[in-house]
Every structure is written in C-alpha cells, then in structure tokens.
Amino acid sequence: MKKILILLAAAGGLGLAACDVDQTKNAQLPDVDVDVNSTGGQLPEFNVTPPEVSVGTENKTVQVPDVDVKVPAENAQ
C-alpha cells in the first residue's frame, strides 16, 4: 500500500512538473476591522499551459493462445 501511494505521488508530481505556470495576479489579504464591515481580499491568478499530448491509434495483430475448456457433465458422479 505504501509503495502504491509513493508511485501515485511521483506520477502526480511528474504531471505537474510538465505544466508551465505563470502567476498573473498577486494575492492580497483582506483589510479586517473589529467592525463587521470589512473589505474582501484577493486570490492570486495563474495561467497554466498544459503540455501538448499527441494521441493516436494503430491497428495491430496480436496472437492469442488457443484455450480448450472442458466442462464436466452435470450428472457425472
């Protein structure tokens, strides 16, 4: 189980490392007062450019072994 979690974390990190991320807006904390009236903050904005992935198909012939299945008779004793 531990190995699976490590592999998933590594695959996720590799996927994120392939992206190009540019921050387009800085974060800003809200102005908070003891009064109920406060002005909201601002979350940062990012432009993310994912990597280009080419996906295609091709036909292949795969050799499959012959399998003989012997089913026993129902009333065999």
Segments making up each domain of the chain, as ranges: 1-32
The pLDDT value recorded for residue 65 is 92
pLDDT value, residue 14? 66
pTM, entire model: 0.28
Task: Report the pLDDT value the prediction gives residue 50, as an integer from 0 to 100.
Answer: 83
**9 φ, ψ to 5°?**
-65, -40
Residue-wise pLDDT for 22-42, tens only, equals 788 887 877 766 655 566 777
CA distances, 42 to each of 23, 27, 31 (Å)? 13, 6, 11
- Condensed to tens digits (0 to 9), the pLDDT of residues 44-61 reads 888 888 888 889 999 999
19 near 46, Cβ under 8 Å?
no
Which pLDDT score, from 0 to 100, does residue 35 have?
Answer: 58
